[in-house]
Amino acid sequence: MSLLKIDVRTSPLGTPDLIAFFIKGSPLPAGVPASEFDGSPGSTLLLRERTQRTLLVGLGDKEKIEPESLRRAAGTAIKQLLKIGSTEAALDLISFPDHVTPAVEGALLAGYKFAGFGKDADKKKRGVLTKLQVLVGEHELIRARAQAHDAEIIVNVTNTIRDIGNLPGNLLSPALLAEKAEELAKGRALTVKVWKESHLKRDGFGGILAVGRGSANPPRFIVLEYFGGGKKDKPIALVGKAITFDTGGISIKPGAQMDEMKWDKMGGCAVLGILLAAADLKLPLNLVGLIPSAENMPGPDAYRPGDIITTFDGKTIEVLNTDAEGRIILADAIAYARLTYKPSAIIEYSTLTGAVVMALGFRRAGLFTNEDKLRDALVVAGKTTGELVWPMPIDEEYKEGTQSEIANVKQIGGREGSACISASFVKTWAEEIPFAHIDIAGTAWTTKPPAHLEAGATGFGVRLTLAALRAGLTV
């Protein structure tokens, strides 16, 4: 999916289609009537001169311009140019030297198109840009080159996981996801270990095994390691839920929109993306990525409500609804992170609850943490990347909802506050390790895409976390 070469320069080379960002109220080029273009966000106007085309794209009012404005405007422009068969474009950022990162991100994210599976899938593909020029002032060249280079790395990885994420359940089993992780790690400074059922049984991963038991496609546990930091630096552990399809199991879901549960693996995909990009960027820190993966199906051997499960660290769970499967596989993975790596922090990503979508909708993910530094770093990174997170409570009082008479913890509490109860349930396995849970159920995929994305997997969490890590996230 690496579509193009980025060339950062001070003036256009050849005659690329020029993308000119336009602040509302600025003077229009001579001959353009104000009725044709007002510069509001999303508005465009194509000007054809003899040898070159210029696409004006609106940013809206000056006071309201933020990184996301450039990201979306660049996305709008690229989509439009691809439609008219453009192969080479130049982003004019001479007046926007501080917005190189979001503009390049928006352009490259908008260049992604999931090929699909039709017989004529190739023909339906949007055109592909072969070259993107980025125009900046002389004094900005060095910084802009570094920023464009990093944005390209991060978006390429994001688009790779969007591609994996968009695969349906019959084409992406836990075993295939693990194979993809192994393939992608090749040639990168990453190690991958994949644990099959025999290994999971031997080491007591009762949660992953229970959830996977209803399916003919056996579960996997994917362990990624990236050691770019000092030998003695504790790693940060990133844990991601990867249910390749969630039917709900014996507590089966209603049929409407059940197909969307192919995206129940996006937490795991995000973790894979973060590790891949960390290696490509050679980040000076240690990271481990832990991806428990299973398919949640009803079947003769499926786990059932009432079952008692023993997780990796010996804590037991009383199952009450097999559709709350994410927290069960996460319990194993978080306990494994804690006991194996003694990480400085655990950040966990999951499409965990419908309740968080009710609370926050589709633009913001729920961020549940007691650690001020983690919260602040992630909230700031959300604003820079447009992958917004909103702090939600995770106090001890939510634990009351999951007290069991017959096991260490009950899997679910009541409906009220259930996004918070779920968060405090998964936190149980982190014990004393600083912990953040990011519920991406509303943001992992989209049906009403913003200008820089298309319908389907968004890759949410990759740009967010890399921004936080690169800003020096410490706990």
Select from Zn ion, ligand BES, none the partner in contact with residue 321, using the beta carbon and a kind-dependent cut-off of 5 to 8 Å: ligand BES
**3 state DSSP class of 27:** coil
* Least distance between ligand BES and beta carbon 209 (Å): 17
439 belongs to the binding site for Zn ion (CB under 5 A): no
Handedness of CA 21, 23, 25, 27 (dihedral sign): negative
Q: Each residue of 84-121: b (16+ CB within 10 Å) or e? A: eebebbbbbbeebeebbbbbbbbbbbbbbbbeeeeeee
User: How many residues make contact with Zn ion (CB under 5 A)?
Assistant: 6
Report the residue number, 208 or 377, with the smaller CB distance to Zn ion.
208
323 lies in the binding site for Zn ion (CB under 5 A): yes
The beta strand positions in 248-327, using DSSP E, are 286-296, 308-310, 316-318
Please count the residues of this chain forming the interface with ligand BES, following the rule CB under 6 A: 16
353-392: contacts with ligand BES (CB under 6 A): 353-355, 357
**Counting beta carbons within 10 angstroms of the beta carbon of residue 62, is it exposed (0 to 12), middle (13 to 18) or buried (19 or more)?**
exposed
Q: Provide the minimum distance between the beta carbon of 250 and ligand BES in the complex, in angstroms, as a whole number.
A: 12
- How remote is the C-alpha of 342 from its chain's centroid? 25
Annotated catalytic residue within 253, 304, 383, 470 = 253
Catalytic, 186? Answer no
Residue 76 CA to residue 106 CA, distance in Å, equals: 8
Smallest separation, CB 323 to ligand BES (Å) = 4
338 is catalytic: no
Name the catalytic one among 162, 180, 220, 327: 327
351 binds ligand BES (CB under 6 A): yes
CB of 27 to Zn ion, least distance (A): 53
CB of 425 to ligand BES, least distance (A): 10
- Rounded least distance, CB 296 to Zn ion, Å: 6
Q: Which stretch binds ligand BES (CB under 6 A): 114-122, 167-175, 351-359, 387-395?
A: 351-359
Q: Which amino acid is at 221?
A: F
Instruction: Considering only the stretches 35-43, 51-59, 166-174, 243-251, report the one whose residues sit in contact with Zn ion under the rule CB under 5 A.
Output: 243-251
- 424 touches ligand BES (CB under 6 A): no
DSSP helix/strand/coil, 278: helix
User: Binding of Zn ion at residue 295 (CB under 5 A)?
Assistant: no
Can residue 246 be called a binding residue for Zn ion (CB under 5 A)? yes
**Binding piece for ligand BES, criterion CB under 6 A, among 34-42, 210-218, 231-239, 345-353:** 345-353
Q: Is 55 in the site for ligand BES (CB under 6 A)?
A: no
Contact residue for ligand BES among 242, 285, 367, 412 (CB under 6 A): 412
Tokens standing for 323? Answer: 């559709």
Q: Give me the helices (H) in 370-474, please.
A: 372-385, 418-427, 462-470
Nearest in space to 359 (alpha carbons), one of 422, 303, 308 = 422
Q: Which two tokens stand for residue 128?
A: 């592909």
Q: Nearer Cβ to ligand BES, position 205 or 425?
A: 425
Note whether 269 and 237 are within 8 A (CB).
Answer: no
- Residue 358 CA to residue 195 CA, distance in Å, equals 35
| DSSP conformational letter for 60 | E
Q: Is 348 in the site for Zn ion (CB under 5 A)?
A: no
Q: Is 441 in the site for ligand BES (CB under 6 A)?
A: yes
Least gap, CB of 176 to ligand BES (angstroms): 20
Tell me if 97 contacts ligand BES by CB under 6 A.
no
Pairing of the two strands 88-92 and 131-135: parallel
Cβ density class 303-326: b for 16+ within 10 Å, e for less: beeebebbbbbebebbbbebbbbb
In angstroms, the Cα distances linking 133 to 85, 89, 395 are: 17, 6, 49
Judged by beta carbon, residue 246 or residue 307, the one nearer ligand BES is 246
Options 17, 225, 264, 454; binder of ligand BES; rule CB under 6 A: 264
Residue 321 in contact with ligand BES, rule: CB under 6 A: yes
Residues 132-151 that bind ligand BES (CB under 6 A): none
Q: Is the dihedral of CA 439, 445, 448, 449 positive or negative?
A: positive
Residue 354 binding target from ligand BES, Zn ion, none, CB below 5 to 8 Å by type:
ligand BES
- Residue 396's alpha-carbon distances to 218, 346, 370, 399, 426, in angstroms, are 35, 18, 10, 5, 12
Among 218, 235, 326, 461, the residue binding Zn ion under the rule CB under 5 A is 326
Nearer to ligand BES, 105 or 264 (CB): 264
Alpha helices by DSSP H, listed for 7-140, are: 67-83, 100-110, 121-124
Give me the least distance between CB of 254 and ligand BES, in Å please: 11
Query: Residues in the site for ligand BES, rule: CB under 6 A?
Result: 246, 264, 321, 323-326, 351-355, 357, 412, 418, 441
- State the catalytic residues: 253, 327
**Footprint of Zn ion on this chain (CB under 5 A)?**
243, 246, 264, 323, 325-326
